């Protein structure tokens, strides 16, 4: 069994960074559905802006909102306005075809990669 890339949101823009929130990342549910990420699933977030890398879990955001909110202590590392890549992984015994999307500056779906 290997851990493989299962899904990716490429070049998303952080819309909020909420230190007071308990933790996790809130993502527009339309984006989650396009790449088959589940609420509660572990993700790796990589900032193209600062180079920070964090692991956290997903919270479903409002559909169509474009919301990408870094919550809790991670908001010290990744700030509002940063460009990020959000990566989900899957375990498999065989190669899989990941679902990867590219979004615009408002986190609206542009195309599959």
24 is catalytic: yes
7 is catalytic: no
pLDDT of residue 22: 82
Question: Which residue stretches of 1-113 are H helix?
Answer: 29-35
Cross-strand partners of 3:
91
Structural fold of domain 2-112: Barwin-like endoglucanases (2.40.40)
Q: How far, in Å, are 43, 50, 79 from residue 65 at the CA level?
A: 20, 24, 18
Task: Find where tokens 């195309």 sit.
Answer: 111
What is the value of pTM for the model shown?
0.95
Instruction: List the chain domain ranges.
Output: 2-112
Q: Which residue in the list 7, 24, 29, 47 is annotated as catalytic?
A: 24
User: What is d(CA 97, CA 95) in angstroms, rounded to the nearest whole number?
Assistant: 7
Residue pair 43/86 in contact (Cβ under 8 Å)? The answer is yes
User: What is d(CA 7, CA 97) in angstroms, rounded to the nearest whole number?
Assistant: 9
pLDDT in single tens digits along all 113 residues of the chain: 999 999 999 999 999 999 999 879 999 999 999 999 999 999 999 999 999 999 999 999 999 999 999 999 999 999 999 999 999 999 999 999 999 999 999 999 999 99
pLDDT of residue 23: 78
């Amino acid at each position: 069994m290997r851990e493989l890339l299962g899904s990716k949101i490429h070049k998303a823009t952080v819309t909020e960074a909420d230190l007071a929130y308990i933790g996790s990342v809130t993502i527009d549910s339309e984006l989650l559905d396009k790449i088959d990420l589940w609420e509660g699933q572990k993700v790796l977030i990589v900032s193209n802006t600062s180079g920070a890398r964090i692991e956290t879990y997903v919270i479903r955001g409002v559909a169509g909102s474009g919301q990408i909110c870094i919550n809790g202590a991670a908001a010290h590392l990744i700030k509002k306005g940063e460009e990020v890549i959000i990566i989900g992984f899957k375990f498999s015994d065989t190669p899989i075809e990941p679902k990867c999307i590219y979004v615009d500056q408002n986190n609206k779906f542009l195309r599959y990669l």
